[in-house]
Structure 1
């Protein structure tokens, strides 16, 4: 038998992984479990789980627990201590304030500020059950923000009086951003800047109210001097845990860790309507050591988009920093433009990213790398292993002619003729695909389009299995570049890319591009 691993612990929550053979987001079979304690919490609990990453809630601080599940070895763990529990309701929070009630949302924000300030170092702020509408709340270091079961912290629908996060702080560090560049943006409904040792947890919900007001009607604009807010924005934070809560209806990107270190997200549910603009699920940007596990996605854009900033139009690069060490496992991507996406903002470099034991159902693409001339930077050491793709239109893609930004269709970006290699030339080197199963394939199993001056290197594909095709699919270009021919039910096509596949029959000799200079 295998032993469950402890992914994350707080005083009241534990995230575990049950490493069953063949487990993706769900276990192959439901497992009964039992939780007991010999000190502090004497009430034995039991239940069953279908999840590979179950969470245990409402634990007691500073207590030793023993967890037993069918088919696994027992595991023991100790919850950390809590320096004090603060109840947000004691600071004058008003229940059921309407989303359009400016004064009520402002009063609740003031109450939450007082409550956050009252939390001792190492303590917990608990938001009780109920719907609480408040303007953005800023968290601090060495605290836990606990959303009780049935609690909904909801942003207002009115933009008047909404705080703005400036593009940079006094030292020049990037704070607000938009698509990889410093920019004033509205503060996220829940946000933190420069904090350490922060946990956001619970069985409650963060609601960004993107479906109210006008947020989704101006996706690429600036209004009132700022860009749209994220749902949860973490800037230059370290040692952060995000455990168990649901987050929905973000005004733009849902969870955006920016310049963070040592971040773990486990057991979340991230959702937005399928037609909501740029509501990516989880976008780590210029971050190191990020773990995303047991997370369920159903969003209007990419489920996970790994980024590293964008070089400015005049070559500005002082805000750039690499992303390195992103681990994605046991996640379910039910809908979205892409399952795991890297780019297109990758000028600082994206390195050492893996996705394992995940299921992608109905996404447009599975693994997607996208960049273009002018970006610079490198994407290296990317791995996908033991992933099921069901109803994914294009399973694997890498595109170095991505037609983003105002000049994306210009000849110098889209030309298939070699261009001079300079600081703006992006590099993709090292992509490993192993044990991927594709069901109901629509367009193409893999398409890799590199630059003639910088071909994609070291793509290794092993044990790729195409089980079935979507026979109702119509042919369409599988990547967003000019001059791409429509495809339907194709295997692996490449242009300016080095692809090594253990099944040569999967390598197509068909061209990706139509006649294109």
Structure 2
């Protein structure tokens, strides 16, 4: 079986099978390291650990049809620092913050801070450049539940000469004071967080999820916050129970995410899984996310950040991953005033989320708010209520229910009018749909430009098992059940080889769709 070595670390390697199947390989394979079998798997993405730094290895995948072998060399490591040597107890009761931070602060270039099995109660920690944080199997980094033990991170501070701003925190697209995250990296380069251990944000133990939209001293922290960093990699770790967004890369470029797990309770508020904001070059492979809000949400800030610190979010690849529960499997927006472009999501399984591909924006985001080049293909959606929703009247903001945002009449295009460009989806199978297959609602003054759906098969739940649902978060828009296709204010809609079974419709419901092209479309 052919494969690609996607990432080599100091003590581990991640590979991806080269095939077109979704998440799983066509057959079970054996993984051999230097000729010795190390694992058997059916997953398309696999991590092999237990390696030594600065060493040569050969790795083979063997099936009944043959064997494919590649060689690699692990990264060098200057030193391995065990946090217990610095005084960490790992008993789950002692505050281990100073011992953990001492090991991080003492770590030299290309060194590794090693966290062995145990539960390490901690307040916020700050990583630095050219280091690895390794949480071994059985290790749990547990966030202190008391918000009074968390330092405040100011949103914006004027530089001494008054010419610019220093940005340390963000809350839902604005630079507002927030509590420090359990793990932060600020302006760091070449940082790895690896291992089979767990990072527990402590959301369930503290009062983080109480009155979640009320600022109490500061806004809720993330579990991992990567602020203005470069070359950051996450591998194998489990991140869970986040106070708010779980992993939040912010103005951070060149991120690799390999085989990690993100888990939050389904009723935990605004606990998005992975939210890159104003980032460039993100690769997510073999990852499993199950949370209380959007699994993955691509963002680029609100109006202030777009106008004063503009950075478009660009080059996203999400592949061979499992996205479960949550409001949306992969979402673009809504805090994306800087724009989001060039997004490819492929060979993934969406299971039990409210929405599959979810795009959301609204008036007020600004002229740089352009979502374009969004491409979804080769995806299985299981029990996803609404496979595709595109909404330009999103109401979740302090002024989200205002007449300016929600009025469905024509407004003159101004410097706060957003744009949705081309969205393509093909080779997608959906079973257990509920409310709708597609709802697309553009602005009357700026239509959604181009939607292409090709080779799509959707089976709805039986009518007795469905219930009306809110498809798009927009005022005065009715709940839906069994709706096949509803599109309004769209320049061009193309349907090719689309088969919808079990809906209440027999034809698409189209209003102000300027160019509609359909080939082999069946709705019943």
| TM-score bracket relative to the smaller structure | over 0.9
- Where do 5+ consecutive residues of structure 2 fail to align? 501-505, 513-524
In 2, the alpha carbon distance for the partners of 1:409 and 1:468 equals 31
Q: Greater strand percent: which structure?
A: 2
2:78 pairs with 83, 98, 102, which one? 83
Residue 289 of structure 1 corresponds to: 281
Tell me how far apart the structure 2 counterparts of residues 508 and 320 of structure 1 sit (CA, whole Å): 42
1:162 aligns with 2:154: no
Q: Which residue of 1 aligns with 2:251?
A: 259
Distance 1:197 1:470, change over 3 A: farther
Determine helix, strand or coil for the equivalent of 1:317.
Answer: helix
Aligned counterpart in structure 1 of residue 108 of structure 2, from 120, 123, 142? 120
**Is 1:144 aligned with 2:132?**
yes
1:480 equivalent to 2:479? Answer no
Question: 2: CA distance between counterparts of 1:73 and 1:465?
Answer: 35
1:463 aligns with 2:437: no
Q: Secondary structure at the match of 2:104?
A: helix
Structure 2 CA distance for aligned equivalents of residues 456 and 400 of structure 1? 9
Give the CA deviation at 1:160: 1.8
SS across alignment from 1:111: helix
Kindly state the Cα deviation for residue 491 of structure 1 after the two structures are TM-superposed.
Answer: 1.9
* 1:27 has 2:25 as partner: yes
SS at match of 1:217: coil
Matches within 5 A, 1:87-126: 87-98=82-93, 104-105=94-95, 108-126=96-114
1:413 is aligned to 405
Q: CA deviation at 1:512?
A: 7.8
Q: Which residue of 1 aligns with 2:268?
A: 276
* Aligned-CA RMSD value: 1.8
Matches within 5 A, 1:324-339: 324-339=314-329
CA 208–373 in structure 1, closer or farther in 2 if over 3 Å, else same: same
- The answer for the alignment partner of 2:14 in structure 1 is 15
Task: Tell me, in whole angstroms, the C-alpha distance in 2 between the residues paired with 1:268 and 1:120.
Answer: 26
| 3-state SS in 1 of match to 2:132 | strand
CA distance in 2, matches of 1:458, 1:183: 35
Which digits, 9 at most, give the CA deviation of each residue in 1:292-325, with x for residues without a partner?
111101111100000000014xx98213321000
Cα distance in 1 for partners of 2:174, 2:196 equals 34
Pairing partner for 1:212 from 205, 213, 220: 205
Flag the 1:467–1:31 CA change in 2: closer, same or farther, 3 A. farther
Structure 2 residue corresponding to 1:353, chosen from 343, 346, 358: 343
Change (3 A) 1:316 1:22: closer
CA offsets, 1:121-169, max 9 Å, x none? 1111101110010111100000011001110011111122311111125
CA apart distance, 1:51: 1.7
For residue 228 of structure 2, the aligned residue among 228, 236, 242 is 236
1:8-44: CA deviation from partner (whole Å, max 9, x where unpaired): 11111111101233132x334332221117xxxxxx3
> Secondary structure of the equivalent of 1:233?
strand
Structure 1 residue runs of 5 or longer lacking an equivalent are 38-43, 99-103
- Is contact 1:181–1:319 with CA below 8 Å preserved after alignment? no
Aligned to 1:80, the other structure's residue is in SS state coil
* Counterpart position of 2:378: 386
Residue deviations 1:271-312 (CA, integer Å, cap 9, x gap): 000000011000000000011111101111100000000014
Does the 8 A contact of 1:391 with 1:470 survive in 2? no
Cα deviation for residue 450 of structure 1 reads 0.2
Are residues 363 and 501 of structure 1, via their aligned partners in 2, closer, same or farther at CA, if it must alter by over 3 Å?
Answer: same
2-side partners of 1:131 and 1:491: how far apart?
Answer: 49
Name the CA distance, whole Å, in 2 between partners of 1:82 and 1:45: 26
The offset of 1:468, in angstroms, is 4.5
Whole-Å Cα distance in 1 between the matches of residues 169 and 460 of structure 2? 45
Give, in angstroms, the shift of residue 437 of structure 1. 0.5
Query: Distance in 1 between the 2:360 and 2:258 partners?
Result: 26
Measured after TM superposition, the shift of residue 505 of structure 1 is 7.4
TM-score, normalised on structure 2? 0.91
> Which digits, 9 at most, give the CA deviation of each residue in 1:193-220, with x for residues without a partner?
0000111100101000000010000211
Question: How big is the shift at 1:490?
Answer: 2.3
Partner of 2:516: none
Q: Which residue of 2 aligns with 1:41?
A: none
Deviation, 1:406, is 2.2
Say whether the 8 Å CA contact 1:354–1:383 is kept in structure 2.
Answer: yes
With structure 1 as the length reference, what TM-score do the two structures score?
0.92
| Equivalent residue, structure 1, for 2:308 | 318
Aligned residue number for residue 101 of structure 1? none
Distance 1:352 1:227 in 2: 31
CA 1:430–1:173 in 2, change beyond 3 Å: closer, same or farther?
Answer: farther
| Correspondent of 2:297 among 295, 301, 305 | 305
Correspondence 1:185 to 2:178: yes
- 2:219 and 2:365 map into 1 onto residues whose CA distance is 22
Give the whole-Å Cα distance in 1 for the aligned partners of 2:298 and 2:45: 22
Structure 1 residue 488: Cα displacement: 1.9
Task: Please state if 1:371 is matched with 2:361.
Answer: yes
- Which range is displaced more, 294-303 or 409-418? 409-418
In the alignment, structure 1 residue 203 sits paired with structure 2 residue 196: yes
Say whether residues 1:502 and 2:490 are aligned partners. Answer: no
Which stretch of structure 1 is more off in the superposition, 158-167 or 350-359? Answer: 158-167
